[in-house]
Homo-oligomer: A and B are copies of this chain.
Amino acid sequence: MSAAERYFEDYPVGAVFTGGPLAVSEADILDFARRYDPQPMHVDKAAAEAGPFGGLIASGWHTGALMMQLFVAHFLSPASSLASPGLDELRWLKPVRPGDRLSLRVTVLTARVSRSKPDQGILTSLAELLNQDGEAVMSLKPVSLLRRRPTR
């Protein structure tokens, strides 16, 4: 489940990383939502079917957690991933429904060496989560703090 050994230098601006698909089941949607986001559209099948989405949809935070599962497996590297200070412009674009298969596409937007810690670099990327029809269901711009490649 872990990505290749990569360092800050291995993520040039414009590089694209992909991974998936990851299947989402009804049980997954219900389990996550009962604990963290127990709104009717996420936990009550009958209410969800009668509501504006016409059926159960995943919590947006569940969708984000699934994005992170793919982001750890296919973008970040255990050799260099240090932390994230945050993210910007998260958009939930389409509902995620039981049976959907989600894939990740990450494009590096900016990459700069840290001024305060010159052995670290800061990436911003565009992460897009796509369903089995190629539609973006979520997009966001995460910031990632990475180790630079060690010098010998």
Give CA–CA (A130, B36) in the complex, Å.
Answer: 17
Q: A88 an interface residue at 8 Å Cβ cutoff?
A: yes
Size category, A interface: 35 or more
Is the Cβ of B92 less than 8 Å from the Cβ of A85?
yes
User: Given the interface contacts A36-B66, A37-B68, A66-B36, does A90 sit within 8 Å of B86 by beta carbon?
Assistant: yes
Is the Cβ of A60 less than 8 Å from the Cβ of B84?
yes
- A 47-69 contacts with B by CB, 8 A: 52, 59-62, 64-66, 68-69
Number of copies: 2
User: Given the interface contacts A61-B65, A84-B92, A89-B86, does A72 sit within 8 Å of B1 by beta carbon?
Assistant: no
- A 85-124 contacts with B by CB, 8 A: 85-92
Identify A90's interface contact among B76, B88, B91, B92, CB under 8 A: B88
List the B residue with the shortest CB-CB distance to A87. Answer: B90
Q: A35 an interface residue at 8 Å Cβ cutoff?
A: yes
Is the Cβ of A37 less than 8 Å from the Cβ of B65?
yes
User: Given the interface contacts A84-B92, A86-B91, does A68 sit within 8 Å of B1 by beta carbon?
Assistant: no
Is the Cβ of A69 less than 8 Å from the Cβ of B1?
no
Closest Cβ of chain B to A123, distance in Å, is 15
Provide a sorted-by-A list of 9 A–B residue pairs whose CB atoms are within 8 angstroms.
Answer: A1-B38, A35-B69, A36-B65, A36-B68, A36-B69, A37-B65, A87-B90, A88-B89, A90-B90
